[in-house]
């Protein structure tokens, strides 16, 4: 599991950075990737990356401002031409379905695959046997949501030496033990999973926020997260501007990471006044003075989601 940023600018694109989109790459876990927001030219950014739209499984939209959704119609209509034939589900706030339907209808775009749009107002928006995605409302000019992606804990690894001592060879019994089932050894003894399984592997937690001022739901979504992605539109000397525009500063993002007990923080959604990495360095310095394990998002750089114990 790793993150790839396809756009890190706030508001409008610049020559250096595109507007917001983040890919959560889960090729080992799901053989797919998920997209969080889809600003203008996101499909162009995907073409410049190693990602393939045929592997796109889900899109999560934080809010309906243009720099987060103007890339959706083009990406959805182009996906089939790039081998995307499997079902695609898009999640987001009320109004998203109308935006997609009207855009595709007026442009007479044809979707050659199953497209599902699920509108929500927070809560558990997706869950399967491997992962849960929870969303909560943030504090922005329009309804903006953050997402908490939580892997479920996995059974520990089988102790092959112990299994051999019990006379078991690779086969269906291994799978049953991994699923938590006990095995009758046929000699009056029963082998329980705890006898041959190591410690469970704790699931990782990734929190990806939409645009927001500081608020309690940021802390709830980021609680004990292995990785928190937080907007940092301005340096802290512009905290009044940040408040007036319903955004955060780099220090406020770092303070949220501390309060939530997050393990790592990545800053993104930078004002275009900070033109390049040199101009962004002061934002990083500010954040690291509060929360040392802070990084700046860079487009096309891969950020692994580490498993913290």
Instruction: Please give the angle made by the CA atoms of 121, 51 and 284, to the nearest 5 degrees.
Output: 70
Residue 44 is labelled as binding a ligand: no
Active site residue 67: yes
Surface-to-core class of residue 246, CB atoms within 10 Å of its CB (0-12 exposed, 13-18 middle, 19+ buried): middle
- The residues, ordered by sequence, that sit 6+ positions from 181 with a Cβ below 8 Å of its Cβ are 193
Q: 230 among the known binding-site residues? A: no
Question: Two tokens at 46?
Answer: 């995907």
The verdict on whether residue 279 carries a ligand-binding annotation is: no
The per-residue DSSP string of 280-295 comes to HHHHHHHHHHH-SSEE
Degrees to nearest 5, angle at CA 60 with 56 and 61: 130
- Whole-angstrom distance, CA of residue 305 vs CA of residue 22: 14
308 marked among binding-site residues: no
Question: How many C-alpha atoms does 255 have within 13 Å on its Cβ side?
Answer: 10
Distance CA 127, CA 109 (A): 30
What does the block give as tokens for 9? 């600018």
Q: Which of 67, 128, 139, 153 is catalytic?
A: 67
d(CA 289, CA 137): 28
Binding residues for Zn(2+): 63, 65, 67-68, 140, 211, 269
Active site residues: 67
Binding residues: 63, 65, 67-68, 140, 211, 269
């Amino acid at each position: 599991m790793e993150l790839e940023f396809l756009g890190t600018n706030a508001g409008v694109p610049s020559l250096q950075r595109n507007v917001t989109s983040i890919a959560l790459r889960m090729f080992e876990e799901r053989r797919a990737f998920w997209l969080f927001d889809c600003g203008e030219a996101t499909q162009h950014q995907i073409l410049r990356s190693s990602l393939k739209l045929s592997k796109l499984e889900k899109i999560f939209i934080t809010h309906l401002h243009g720099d987060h959704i103007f890339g959706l119609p083009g990406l959805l209509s182009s996906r089939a031409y790039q081998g995307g034939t499997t079902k695609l589900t898009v999640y987001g706030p009320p109004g998203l379905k109308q935006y997609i339907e009207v855009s595709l209808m007026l442009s007479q775009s044809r979707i050659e695959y199953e497209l599902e749009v699920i509108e929500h107002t927070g809560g558990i928006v997706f869950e399967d046997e491997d992962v849960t995605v929870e969303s909560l409302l943030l504090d922005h000019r329009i309804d903006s949501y953050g997402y908490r992606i939580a892997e479920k804990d996995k059974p520990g690894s089988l102790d092959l030496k112990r299994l051999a001592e019990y006379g078991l060879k690779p086969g269906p019994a291994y799978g049953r033990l991994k699923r938590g089932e006990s095995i009758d050894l046929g000699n009056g003894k029963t082998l329980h999973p705890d006898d041959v399984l190591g410690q469970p592997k704790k699931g990782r937690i990734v929190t990806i926020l939409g645009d927001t001022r500081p608020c309690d739901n940021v802390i709830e979504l980021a609680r004990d997260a292995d990785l928190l992605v937080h907007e940092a539109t301005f340096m802290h000397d512009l905290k009044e501007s940040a408040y007036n525009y319903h955004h955060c500063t780099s220090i406020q993002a770092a303070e949220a990471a501390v309060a939530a007990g997050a393990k790592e923080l990545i800053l993104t959604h930078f004002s275009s006044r900070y033109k390049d990495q040199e101009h962004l360095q002061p934002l990083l310095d500010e954040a690291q003075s509060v929360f040392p394990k802070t990084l700046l998002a860079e487009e096309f750089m891969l950020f692994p989601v580490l498993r913290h114990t």
